[in-house]
Amino acid sequence: MLPRYCIFCEIVARREPAEILYESDGAIVIRNVLRWVPVMLLAMPRQHLTQRELWRDMGEVGRVAEEMGRRFCPAGFRLASNSGMHGMQSQEHAHVHVLGGTFLGEYVSPR
């Protein structure tokens, strides 16, 4: 069952604006409206899937996320995916963050 409103489904359907960098029958990559680092992209399936469903078979989304990382962040990038409330997942539609364009630093603060 689809959620009542999904911004990513609306972007896929062209009812909401987005800067689309890649699309095929199965996947789409957009520039994230958040700008915490110079490059923040979102790679996602066109079909509404949960994070769990996507991670069971990354398929084209995984391939495209890696390709976009190499294209937009030749010095290196990070692929990240939030899952669940404690993981700070804000959108139900499965997606992978492609982050880069600067040195991203350590995952956690040194002790």
Q: Are 31 and 41 in contact (CB under 8 A)?
A: yes
Q: Are 100 and 77 in contact (CB under 8 A)?
A: yes
CA distance 21 to 30: 6
Residue 40 belongs to a domain: yes
With the CA atoms of 12, 18, 73 and 83 taken in that order, what torsion angle do they form, in degrees rounded to the nearest 10? -60
pLDDT at 111: 64
Residue where the block lists tokens 């603060």:
109
Residue 35 belongs to a domain: yes
Contact residues for 8 (Cβ-Cβ < 8 A; gap 6+): 42, 44, 48, 91, 93, 95
pLDDT tens, the chain, 111 aa long: 555 799 999 999 999 999 999 999 999 999 999 989 999 999 999 999 999 999 999 999 999 999 999 999 999 999 999 888 888 888 889 999 999 999 998 876 666
Q: Any idea what the CATH number is for the domain that residue 85 is in?
A: 3.30.428.10
95 catalytic per annotation: yes
- SS3 call for 42: strand
CA distance 28 to 8: 10
Closest CA to 28 of 2, 60, 58, 59: 60
Name the pTM for this structure. 0.88
The number of folded domains in the chain is: 1
Residue 2 belongs to a domain: no
Q: Which domain holds residue 90?
A: 25-100
Catalytic, out of 86, 93, 95, 97: 95
Residue 12 belongs to a domain: no
